[in-house]
Amino acid sequence: MTSKRKNNYDDAKQKRQRRSDDVKITPNVSSADLAFQHPTSNGFQSQANALRMENTCGWGSRDLNAQLMMACSQDNVPVARYLVKAAADPGARDANGWTPLASAVHSHCSQIVHFLLFDAKANCESQFSVHEPSATPEEPSRIHRKWTALMLAARDGNAEAAQSLMHARADVGAHDEEGLTPLMIAGQHGNVEVAKCLVSFGGAVSVRDVSGHTAFDHATINNEFEVARFLLTVRADIDARATSGLTPLMRAAREGNLPAAKFLLASKANLGTPNFVGTRALAHAAQSGRSAMCTLLCEKGADPDARDAEGRTAIMRALEQGELQTIRVLIESKADVNVATSSGRTCLMEAARRGLLQVLSFLLYDEKVLCDSCDAHGRTALMYGAEEGRSTAVWILLQARADPNARTAFGHTALHLGARKGHVTVVGNLLNAKADIDLQSAQGHTGLMLAARHGEIDMAKKLVEASASLEIHTSHGRTALMFAAEHGKAAVARFLVKAHANPLARAKNGKTPLHHAAQHGFASIVTFLLSLPSPFQPDLSLVDNRGRTALRLSLETIARKHSKFGKTRKIMANSSRWNTAHALLSASTSLDNFDVSLVEDVCFIPPARRRRRTERMSNLFEVLEKRVPAIVSQIVFDYDDIWYLSDGLWKLTIGKMRKMSSENPLDGTDPSKSAGKTQKNNNANSCKGFVFCGKRFVLDDNKKSK
């Protein structure tokens, strides 16, 4: 270092030390703090003095931006002006993403806002996030993203800043992620002056957010009636429907907001405007249980019998919540209590279905509603209560002399509907009221049959104890035991047999309970029926009207073929179907007429199911080999079926197939020598294998092992 530069450095160091002693500068002191330590008319003694202090403290650009943010929040224009000239960035952001302009708007610093917009040329469209705390501890706080300074001014009610921003050509129609515009935000917070400024600069009152709400909607939701009244003067639509179909009046009625409803009604809101499904404001109030709102709307001329798209009125909406007080208010307003929906359902039926006991008693004894009226399907209130298991409601209706034997369009009674769902107490009440226990529906079903079909063992016991007939049958000859066997209800089937139901009864198609259980693969029921003593044990040789035994039905079910889109595909059975066939084969005394083609169809196994089906098919073939040894050797397999045989079944049948090949070869040679040849080269003259029943079988171990 030269002597001249060293002397200049020493002089500068002494000067800085003297200035530091004069103003008591600490190492990290800020320019804004200095301004307030030495208050003058302009905040600093002079711009040059401020520059010397900047050199003394050695602030970087980042510190300048932080001090600019502080100066903007404290409306200190001289400090902000100096910092901008000292290379502070007017578009810099703090840790929360706010700019100096946003900080000035939030602090209501109008002079700083004017300086930043017109002198510092700050960007008025910079976006940032705003955290809005909840109004109550129960509500979660909200974070608004993509807000601009104009939105912040609209929220805080800073009309001067909003006007400056709009003069600086801020976008009046800008919106955040929720679609909120500055005018909507001003309506939410009741800032009427800001709203007037926004409208005067072209703010549209008909713009909607993502939920379809307008600025007028936001004002009425928050009870900001002064802003709402102003928006009505600039032709805001008072009956505009949001995306949900609700108008401001509907929303106020649903929420029970009486002040908003009164304001809207005084502003000539339409009471008859429906939403997208035809529901009106009175129905919304009734559904929410707002009795005071219902009274107000009825006094203003709302129609209590107006229907929605499903034919429901306000009183039916009130039934959904069980609000008796609301129902009383609607009835006092001349609402028709006997009105029915488009499907014919009345208020009494709805009360019985929901188990609204107070409403039910009120309708029956105070309003004298008829208890035996039916809907479009012939169902009465008693049937609705029985189906839903409302035992007390059923008892009340029976005390009001409801008919327990009334039938639907399909011939079902309340006992049928209750038995099908297993409501024992309901059925007990119906039986005490002299309901016919053996009354049959149009299809011939009794309550016991429906209970057996759905596996309701307690209901079956209740009905049998009440002397329900076990031998009564449908028009097709099916009994309750057959229904239990067909649908796999083993517990019910055992109980009915112990209650002396006939296990040998035959339907009109010739099937016994064993046929039904075997056809649907219910091994537990088949095993139980086969274990019955000799007078009641089913005969396995019995055939139905199509000549099929129980064993044949079981195997046909396993190898059942279904056609879909013109292609035949084989459906593999579950373990219960295999167990059923195994049990029937083990119990069969004669297999003289056994159809080998059934086993051929059973042998097909897709590759994905090989391991799962190997053991079951091996067991089936072991039983066949023990009972009729000639059967396994007589099975004819197609080439594709052999390709999909499981490993276990292949080992079981390969020996017998080799034996057949040696006994009846195509050309007198060993079929194993043909291994390795492809199917394409195995023509009629050169393939090695055997012929059985006019079919050619080619044994190709290499093909199988691939």
Q: How confident is the model at residue 124 (pLDDT cuts 50, 70, 90)?
A: very high
* Range 583-612 average pLDDT: 57
Helix (H) or strand (E) run with residue 502 in it: none
* Range 66-79 average pLDDT: 89
399: its two tokens: 């005390």
pLDDT digits (tens, 9 = 90+) for 264-285: 999 999 999 999 999 999 999 9
Q: What is the predicted pLDDT for the residue at 620?
A: 60
Higher local confidence (pLDDT), 613 or 643: 613
Q: How confident is the model at residue 540 (pLDDT cuts 50, 70, 90)?
A: confident
* Range 76-91 average pLDDT: 90
Find tokens 């195994």 and name the residue: 582
* Range 456-477 average pLDDT: 94
Q: What is the predicted pLDDT for the residue at 37?
A: 38
Q: What is the average pLDDT score of the chain?
A: 79
pLDDT digits (tens, 9 = 90+) for 295-325: 999 999 999 999 999 889 999 999 888 888 9
**pTM as predicted:** 0.70
Which CA distances in Å does 691 have to 497, 499, 625, 694, 696? 50, 55, 21, 6, 5
pLDDT digits (tens, 9 = 90+) for 136-161: 777 788 888 999 999 999 999 999 99
Cα separation, 452 vs 491, whole angstroms: 9
Which CA distances in Å does 478 have to 144, 362, 452, 471, 510? 68, 44, 12, 9, 10
Whether residue 290 contacts residue 269, with contact meaning beta carbons closer than 8 Å, is answered with no
Q: What is the predicted pLDDT for the residue at 132?
A: 83
484: its two tokens: 């239990």
Query: In the chain, pLDDT over 90 holds for what percent of residues?
Result: 56
Per DSSP, helices labelled H in 362-469 are 381-387, 391-399, 414-421, 424-432, 447-453, 457-465
Closest CA to 98 of 124, 74, 70, 127: 127
Q: How confident is the model at residue 469 (pLDDT cuts 50, 70, 90)?
A: very high
Q: Is 578 exposed, middle or buried (0-12, 13-18, 19+ CB in 10 A)?
A: buried
Whether residue 69 contacts residue 100, with contact meaning beta carbons closer than 8 Å, is answered with yes
Closest CA to 473 of 452, 500, 445, 496: 445
Q: What is the predicted pLDDT for the residue at 45?
A: 38
* pLDDT of 552 above 60: yes
Cα separation, 511 vs 546, whole angstroms: 10
CA quadruple 183, 184, 189, 192: dihedral positive or negative?
Answer: positive
Using the 8-state DSSP alphabet, how is residue 674 labeled? Answer: G
**SS3 state at 268:** coil
Query: In the chain, pLDDT over 70 holds for what percent of residues?
Result: 72
Higher local confidence (pLDDT), 43 or 221: 221
Written as one letter, the residue type at 283 is: A
Q: What is the predicted pLDDT for the residue at 137?
A: 73
Whether residue 558 contacts residue 602, with contact meaning beta carbons closer than 8 Å, is answered with yes
Q: How confident is the model at residue 703 (pLDDT cuts 50, 70, 90)?
A: very low
Of 33-37, 414-418, 468-472, the one with minimum mean pLDDT is 33-37
Closest CA to 251 of 212, 221, 277, 231: 221
Question: Any residues with CB less than 8 A from the CB of 93 and at least 6 apart, and which?
Answer: 99, 128
List the helix and strand counts (H, then E) for the chain: 39, 6
Q: How confident is the model at residue 623 (pLDDT cuts 50, 70, 90)?
A: low
Which CA distances in Å does 183 have to 117, 121, 527, 668? 21, 25, 78, 99
Task: Please state the three-class secondary structure of 286-305 as a single string.
Answer: HHCCCHHHHHHHHHCCCCCC
**SS3 state at 129:** strand
128-132/561-564 β-pairing:
unpaired
Whether residue 317 contacts residue 283, with contact meaning beta carbons closer than 8 Å, is answered with yes
Cα separation, 294 vs 681, whole angstroms: 88
554: its two tokens: 């079981």
E strands present in 503-587: 561-564, 567-570
Cα separation, 250 vs 670, whole angstroms: 90
pLDDT digits (tens, 9 = 90+) for 554-564: 877 766 543 33
Which CA distances in Å does 521 have to 298, 582, 616, 700? 63, 11, 14, 35
* Range 638-659 average pLDDT: 44
Higher local confidence (pLDDT), 673 or 92: 92
Q: How confident is the model at residue 432 (pLDDT cuts 50, 70, 90)?
A: very high
* pLDDT of 1 above 80: no
Written as one letter, the residue type at 703 is: K
* pLDDT of 614 above 90: no
Question: Any residues with CB less than 8 A from the CB of 384 and at least 6 apart, and which?
Answer: 349, 350, 352, 353
Cα separation, 616 vs 578, whole angstroms: 7
Q: Is 138 exposed, middle or buried (0-12, 13-18, 19+ CB in 10 A)?
A: exposed
pLDDT digits (tens, 9 = 90+) for 475-530: 999 999 999 999 999 999 999 999 999 999 999 999 999 999 999 889 999 999 99
